[in-house]
Structure 1
Amino acid sequence: MEEEIRNFLGRFVDEFPAPLEEGSPLPVSPLSRKVSLEELHGESLELGLRLLAARGAPAVLSAHMCQAAMSQLLQNDLSPCHCPQEAEANQEELQKVTLLESEAVQRIFLNKLIDVALAWHQNSPNPLPSLSRVHLCSVHAIKNTRRKMEDRHLALAEFNQLFAIQDGVERAYYAVFDGHGGVDAATYAATHLHVTLSKQETLQSDTATAFKTAFKHIDDMFRNKAKREHLRSGSTGVAVLIQGHVLTVAWLGDSQAILVRKEEVLTLMDPHKPEREDEKQRIEDLGGCITFMGCWRVNGTYAVSRAIGDFDQKPYVSGDADCSTTQLFGDEDYVLLACDGFFDAVKPSEVPHLVLDALQQPGDLEGGTLLKQSVEAVGLRVAQQLVSHAKAAGSSDNITVMVVFLRPPEELLSQDSTSGTAQATQDSTFQSVPQQC
C-alpha cells in the first residue's frame, strides 16, 4: 500500500505540478452550474473522488485526500464565488440560499486537492492506514432498452475516512438510486445522502433514525434545487450502512436490498408500491387514489408510492424512508442491492443460484482457491451475469445490480461444494475474517 500511494502521488503531481490557473478548463466537470453552501460538501467530494478514480488512485487515499481538501476549502473566504441575486418571479417561494458559481468554487477545491498531493508527496508521509476489512463489491449497470440511463449508484467502503470519523467503528456505505422523469433526483441523492447521513448525531446510537432524517433532508434540499432550476424528476433509493456487526438498510420506493446467509435469502425490507395495502390506505386517507394503468399508479401518475422528488404529487408520493436493522454474525454471504429493473424480472429466491453459477465459471480457481488476479474479474462477472439474466428474463428497464460480499467468494464456493445448500442458523458464532479486494 505504501508503494502504491507513493507511486500515485508521484504521477498526480507530475500531471498537476502547480495550481490550476484562473480561466483554464477544469480537468473534470462540476455536476452543477450553481451550488448552495449546503450542497458544496457533496458536490466537491463527488468531483474529487471522480477525478482521483479516473487516475487510478487507491480508494482509501482518495478518501483521505478529498477529506483534507474539503476541510481546507471550508476555511476559505468563498464570497468572491457568490452568484449575484437573481430577480425571479417565484423568488418569494424559494428558500433564501446563498448560491456559488460552481466552476469558481470547484477550482479552489481542486487546487486544495493539488496542494494536499504536493505536500504529502514532498513530505513522504507514513502510509495511510488500510481498511482492516474491505468487502469485494461487484457492480454492473445498463441502460437496457430505455432511451436514457436514469440509475445512479455509490459504493463507499471508506465512509469513515471520507468524513474523518474516528470512533473506532468500521463503516461502509452502499446505495442504488432509480430515477424517473430524468436523472436529476437520482444524481442528487447519490451525491448528497451519504454526506447528510455522516452529519447525523444519532449515526452510531440510532442509525435508523439517522437514515430517516437524512433521506427527509435530501428530499427538502432537492425541493429547493428543483424550484431554482425547474426540475421535475424523482428517484427511488435503497441504501445500506454496514456499521461494525450491524447492517442497516433504508429505502424509498421499489428499489430493494436482500441479504443471503448460507445460500438462504433473508428479507430485509418490503418495497413501497402503490398497491401495497398500507400504502394504498395512506394515499386514500390523504384524499388520493391508486389506479391501474398498465401497473398501479398514484393518482394515475407515478408507479411508486415513495420517492425523493416528484413534488407535484407530494404528499401522496411520500418522502419518508423506512429502515430495518439486522445483526451480522459472520456467516452471511453477501448483500445485494438492485433497482426494480432487476427485481421485476428476477425473484429473490433465484439470486443464490445465479451468484454461485457466476462464481463457478472456469479459469479462476487453482487448487480450489480463487486466484488473486481473478478477484477483479469475479467482481465484474457476478453483477454482469445477474444483469444479463434479468434482461433475458424480460426486463426492458434500466438495470443496476450491486453485490457486496460479506465473506470472500472462495468461502462461498467451498461452502457449496462441501455441504450443498446450507441451512441458515440463528445461533452462529461470529468470527471476524479480514476481507481484501
Structure 2
Amino acid sequence: ISCGAPQNSSPMACDAEISDFLNTFLQDFPAPLNPESPLPWRFSGATLSREELEGELAELAMGFLSSRNAPLPLAAALTHEAISQMLQADLSEFRKLPKQEEEEGKDNEEMEATGTSEISLSLADTTEVARSFFNQLWKVSSQWQKQVPVTARTPQKEWVVSIHAIRNARRRMEDRHVFLPAFNLLFGLSDSVDRAYFAVFDGHGGVDAARYAAVHVHVNAARQPKLLTDPAEALKEAFQHTDEMFLWKAKRERLQSGTTGVCALIAGTNLHVAWLGDSQVFLVQQGQLIKLMEPHRPDQPEEWERIQRLGGFVTFLDCWRVNAALAVSRAIGDIFQKPYVSGDADSTSRELTGSEDYLLLACDGFFDFVHLDEIASLVHSHLVKQEGDGAHVAEELVAVARDRGSSDNITVMVVFLRDPRELLESGVQGPGNSQADVRSQDLSAGLSNPQTDTPQRN
C-alpha cells in the first residue's frame, strides 16, 4: 500500500467527521454484542498473557476502527479509553482452566531454568476477551456520541508518509510496519510534546516475531518510565522487553521465528531511533543523506567477538552467519540461537532543526540493492515527475530494488519532515546534481564514528 495524510483539516471539519462516524457506528452496532453475536474483528492468536493484553487490544481496536474509516485521532482516543476501562475490570473470568494453568506452570519452570523471565497470568478464550472489549468500545462510543472529549476533537499534526511493502518472490510476507502519528492519544499522554512513531520489522523463519514486534514494541516504549526523560533509552528497553515477552510466547507455542527491526520516535523537535539487526533508517537533510546508525551484522568485529565469547561462531555460507544458521546477529526471537543472536538494541538521538527533508526506513531487501548515494536523487526525480506529490515515492523505491534483482520481502517507508512540494520548489537535490554530490555523513552528535568508537550501548 501507499498512503499519505490529508492536507486540509479544521476543527469544524474534525467535529463533523467525528459526529458522522459515531452516528454511523452506533447505527450499525445499536447494542452490546450478545454471547451468540459474531465478532466484528478477532485476535490473531488463541491465548494471551496479561502483559500482552494492552498491545493486542490496541491492535484489535485500531484495525477494526480503521476498517470502518474512523478518523485517526478518534480511533486512537477511543481505543485508549476502552483499553483503560477494560484493564481496570476483573479479568479473572478469562483465566485458563486449572489443568491448563498447571501445564503453563511447567512451561514457566522450564523458562526460568533457561534464564527467560516469566510473564504471569495467561488468558484463555480470546473470543470472550474480544467480545467483552467490543462491548466496552460500544459503551465508550455511546458516551462520546453525547459529548466527545476535547482531546479527541483537537486537530492533530499532519504527516505525509509513503509506505509500500511487497512479498516479492518469497513464499510468505514476513515484513511488518507501523505508522502511528497519534501516539499520545493512543497512550493517554497529555503533556505538550507531540509524538509520532514509525517502524519497520523484517521477519525470518515465519511472520510471528515481526507481527509481535509491530504490536508490542511501541506499547512497551510508552510504558517505560524513561519515555519522558530519555526516549532513546525507552525505545531500547522496549526492544529488549518485547524480546523477553516473545521468547516466552515462542516457548509456549513452539515458535522459531525472529525479526530485525528499526523504529523512530519523533518527540517534539527531537528524533530518537532504536534498532536490532540490519533494517535501517536514514535522514535526508537538504538533499544530503545522514547516517543515523550502524546495522548489526555477524561479520562486524564487535559482533563476531561477542558471539565467540558466548561460545558461538560466525562462518561464511553464501553470507556471514551465526552458528552457520542465521545471517543476523541481533533480533527479537530466534529462541534456539539465544544468546548468540542478541535482543539488546542500540539507540541514538538527534535534534531536528526544521531543515530536514524526510526519514527513510526500510529492510535489507531494499538496502542490499539500492546504494545509499542514490536515494536522494531517486526521491527527487519522483517528486519532479509527480509535481511534488510524495504519496507514491515508496512504491517507486521498492520497484527500483525489485528491478535490480531483490527477491526478498521489501518494505520502504518515507516520512516527510517538510512538505514534499516545498522540497521541490526549493530545488533541493535538483536535476543538476549528480549522484556523487549526495554524500553520506556521520552525525557530529548523537552517534560516534563507527571506525573509532561504537554507538551508545549500555
Alignment partner for residue 413 of structure 2, among 380, 398, 402? 402
Q: Structure 2: how far apart are the matches of 1:96 and 1:307?
A: 20
Residue of structure 2 equivalent to 1:432: none
Match of 2:8 in 1: none
Q: Report matched runs for 1:162-181 at 5 Å.
A: 162-181=186-205
1:12 aligns to what? 25
- The percent of aligned pairs where both chains have the same amino acid is 49
Partner of 1:415: 426
Q: State the AA in 1 paired with 2:206.
A: G
- Secondary structure of the structure 1 residue equivalent to 2:152: coil
Equivalent residue in structure 1 for 2:82, among 59, 69, 74: 69
* C-alpha distance in 2 between matches for 1:252 and 1:418: 31
Shift of 1:128: 2.8
Specify whether residues 423 and 289 from structure 1 end up closer, same or farther in structure 2 by C-alpha distance, changes over 3 A only.
closer
Which of these residues, 124, 129, 143, is aligned with residue 119 of structure 1? 143
CA drift of 1:179 comes to 0.5
Question: What does residue 161 of structure 1 align with?
Answer: 185
| Deviation per residue, 1:279-325 (Å, 9 max, x gap) | 11211222211111111100100000000001211111111000111
The DSSP-based 3-state class of the residue aligned with 1:284 is: helix
- Is there any run of 5+ residues in structure 2 with no aligned partner, and where? 1-13, 112-117, 445-458
- Relative to structure 1, the CA distance from residue 227 to residue 3 in structure 2 (aligned partners, 3 Å threshold; closer, same or farther) is same
Question: 1:86-139: per-residue Cα shift (whole Å, max 9, x none)?
Answer: 244645314362211211112111111111112211346658344552221111
Shift of 1:11: 1.4
Q: Hey, what does 1:218 align to over in structure 2? A: 242
The question of 1:186 aligning with 2:203 is answered no
**Number of matched residues?**
414
Name the structure 2 match of 1:382. 393
Moved more, 74-83 or 254-263: 74-83
User: Following superposition, which runs of at least 4 residues in structure 1 exceed 6 angstroms of deviation?
Assistant: 422-427
**Conserved? CA contact 2:74–2:153, under 8 Å:** no
Q: TM-score, normalised by structure 2?
A: 0.86
Q: Cα gap change, 1:418/1:189 in structure 2, threshold over 3 Å: closer, same or farther?
A: closer
Matching residue of 1:264: 288
CA 41–152 in structure 1, closer or farther in 2 if over 3 Å, else same: same
* Structure 1 residues 131 and 348: CA distance shift in structure 2, 3 A: farther
Q: Residue in 2 aligned with 1:92?
A: 109
Which sits farther off after the overlay, 92-101 or 77-86? 92-101
Aligned in 2, Cα 1:90/1:334: closer, same or farther, shift over 3 Å?
Answer: same
Retained in 2: the 8 A contact 1:140–1:402? yes
Q: Which amino acid aligns with 2:35?
A: E
Pick the aligned partner of 2:39 from 26, 41, 49.
26
> Is the CA contact 1:2–1:127 (under 8 Å) kept in the aligned structure 2?
no
Is the 1:337–1:402 Cα contact (8 Å) retained in structure 2?
yes
CA contact (8 A) 2:162 2:394 kept: yes
Could you tell me how far 1:24 is from its partner in structure 2? 2.1
- Residues 370-424 of structure 1 show CA distances to partners (whole Å, capped at 9, x for unaligned) of 5xxxx6xx42x11110111110011000000011100011011112279765999
Which range is displaced more, 194-203 or 276-285? 276-285
- Whether 2:243 is the aligned partner of 1:230: answer no
Contact 2:257 2:334 in 1 (8 A): yes
- CA deviation after TM superposition for structure 1 residue 23, in Å: 3.1
Q: Kindly indicate whether the alpha-carbon contact (under 8 Å) linking 1:338 and 1:401 is maintained by their aligned counterparts in 2.
A: yes
Q: Deviations over 1:3-58 (max 9, x none)?
A: 11111111111111111111322111212111111000000000000000011111
Q: Kindly tell me: are residues 91 and 327 of structure 1, through their superposed partners in 2, closer, same or farther at Cα, counting changes over 3 Å?
A: closer
1:5 and 1:127 in contact (8 A); partners too? no
Match of 1:393 among 389, 400, 404: 404
Contact 1:138-1:383 at 8 Å conserved across structures: yes
Q: TM-score, normalised by structure 1?
A: 0.90
Structure 1: 5+ residue runs without aligned partners? 428-437
